[in-house]
Structure 1
Amino acid sequence: MLSSVKPKVKSLLEILRAGRRIQLHAAYTKQWTRSHSMTHTFDSGPIAVIINNGARAGQDLDEEVLRQAFAVHDRQLQMHRVAGDQIGETVRTSLEGGARIVVAAGGDGTVNAVAAELVGRDDVALAVLPVGTLNHFARDLGMPTETNDAVTIIAAGRTRSVDVGEVNGRIFLNNSSLGLYARLVVERERLQRHTNLGKWPAMARAAWSVLRHPHSFSVALHTDERELRRSTPFVFIGNNDYTIEGPHSGERSCLDGGKLAIYVLRPLNPWGLVKLAFRAATGQIVHGHDLEQLHATSLVVESPRAQVDVARDGEVEPFEMPLRYRMRPRALRVIAPLAEAST
């Protein structure tokens, strides 16, 4: 009996996921169509595809399938399979060779590395082929996860401009943070280096370790209009507002609102953090109770520490204090699945 139930459950989950993708696509199309008209279309010229060969998703990507998908749309393709530290140079070389659309085939880290070379330019556009483990930016753009559907949108070349966050001269498309998440990533990477654990088992063990030993730190946050001094285990800076309550928790409905969304977690003991993690996973975070929220176009973060680990779009690296954040409004042109306004 169980064997007959499992396929039905699996099918139901697939239907729900498909419905969710359609719902997201419609929501973002409606939001952006309401606020913008089409400005640029890059429907000719070569398209450069950057595949991060250092990521598992990049290694598994079938180049021939991708070439065939683009060939249907009669678009010239430049395929580059490179190591992560070669992405920037490869993008610059592609632009010099005439590419005006650069596709990041990978997760958020790959997308960030490609976008860093395109920010501030009106004559080129970023496209995202969501093949990585985590594809938050692609999801918030409304890009479909099916390769052929994504290629159709990329080949059409319709663009919009989105905001870009920046900290000490380094960009982020999704968010940046210091505290809990950065500690978790550092611990996960340590476990992967010294054990045979894969990414997700290492992440689970790292989360258990970090949540059992939360460390609050003192920060002073200086925004455009106010100053906030707190002891906190976690400061999160979003590129525009994140939904933190309800079924759409962790998503953004607007990518061009021009504001940094700053969330400061109140100090919690280990059990409080575990309960908070559960509420976050189920969309039950409460404004004012669990988090303080601020909005600003610029932010300075000060701490007694000389250096802190900072996460940007999932990647962690040390930064010298103070941290200087700013919003760069509509600084990045992106390919997105947007419909033209009909009314």
Structure 2
Amino acid sequence: MAEGKKTDKILLYYNAHSGSGVFKNNLDYIVDRCQEAGYQVVPVRAAKGIVIDKVMGEIDPGEFSRVIAAGGDGTINLCVNAMVRHDIHLPLAILPAGTANDFAYYFELPNEINYQLDIALGNKTTSVDVGVVNNRYFVNVTALGALIDVSQKTDPNLKNAIGTLAYYLKAVTEIPQIRALPVKLITPDKVYEEEIYFMVVMNGESAGGFRKLSPESYMNDGKLDVIAFRKMPIVELGPMLFEVVQGRHPNNKHVLYFQTDELTIESEENISTDIDGEHGEKLPLNFSVLHNRLEVFVSEKTWKYDD
């Protein structure tokens, strides 16, 4: 639970252009609800992470009750990165307003803004992990492979329409010339040498609209879930897509799946990467976990996982 002295400010970090931009129509309602609850709202508009990083470096956390982040997974990522870098331990409330809301989906947050604010202004929180990759943090997923480059060169409106991961997997079936890439995956227990089309390192359980991409994931288990789609005959990619939708792919012979709290990914190739939907780091990638680093507001009624 979020306990302690009630302070009088809320930092509201919002992306006015997330998803269809519906947040703008609700801004006055959000401020009104916060003021009714006795809080002063300090708004910060999303601007490529530069502004929120500066703000987090300058605020006095003792003056704030919580942070509310309104936007998609990319907005949440920028907010969490700034909080961790500046050692801010305020609890985080999420108003999912983006095209991709996989982080919010994990917490079973409602779609209606009034119920979202009931949770954001409530007192129930749960502790969750934050993933670390090189000098950056992620809340949901780091992805890499030949298909990332394809996606990053694609019209973002198309990706928004069909989902990022859906596009990655669909691209394999439509672009046969895409080749598998060699990677070395190094964990404290084992070293894997594979040829992959695509792989994800998950903190959550869904990405790009695939709700069961990592069906065994828990955000507070201190582990990352690694799922690699190995080189396979093109004709088997279609059936694989259906298995991903149903969450049965971890048992497929063309999928490598394991959990770890430390991972290094190396390759002789220059492989494109993606962190929570944004351009990622260059290889090698060194992963670790900040166990239970983040407090997130959840519903008293629907949240089913204990800390």
Task: State the secondary structure of the residue aligned to 1:249.
Answer: coil
CA distance in 1, matches of 2:190, 2:72: 35
**Aligned counterpart, 2:97:** 131
Instruction: Mark the CA change 1:155 to 1:286 in structure 2 (over 3 Å): closer, same or farther.
Output: closer
**Alpha-carbon deviation of 1:288?**
4.3
**Aligned counterpart, 1:107:** 72
**Aligned counterpart, 2:235:** 271
CA distance in 2, matches of 1:42, 1:109: 31
Give TM-score, length-normalised by structure 1: 0.74
Counterpart of 1:255 (choices 219, 232, 240) is: 219
CA distance in 1, matches of 2:153, 2:275: 16
8 Å CA contact 2:8–2:38 kept in 1: the answer is no
Superposed CA RMSD: 3.2
**Aligned counterpart, 1:300:** 264
**Alpha-carbon deviation of 1:180?**
5.0
Equivalent position amino acid for 2:272 in 1 = D
Deviates more, 1:137-146 or 1:127-136: 137-146
Structure 1 or 2: more helix by fraction: 1
Counterpart of 1:89 (choices 34, 39, 54) is: 54
**Aligned counterpart, 1:32:** none
CA distance in 1, matches of 2:247, 2:82: 35
Give the number of aligned pairs: 294
In the TM superposition, what are the counterparts of 1:134-213 in structure 2 within 5 Å? 134-188=100-154, 191-192=155-156, 199-200=160-161, 208-211=170-173, 212-213=175-176
Give TM-score, length-normalised by structure 2: 0.82
Highest CA radius of gyration, 1 or 2? Answer: 1
**Aligned counterpart, 1:50:** 13
Residues 199-218 of structure 1: CA distance to partner in whole angstroms, max 9, x if unpaired?
Answer: 42796887654432332111
8 Å CA contact 2:147–2:197 kept in 1: the answer is no
Task: State the secondary structure of the residue aligned to 1:329.
Answer: strand
Is the aligned partner of 1:314 residue 2:277?
Answer: yes
Task: State the secondary structure of the residue aligned to 2:104.
Answer: helix
Deviates more, 1:77-86 or 1:259-268: 77-86
Consecutive unaligned residues in structure 1, runs of 5 or more: 1-37
8 Å CA contact 2:2–2:91 kept in 1: the answer is no
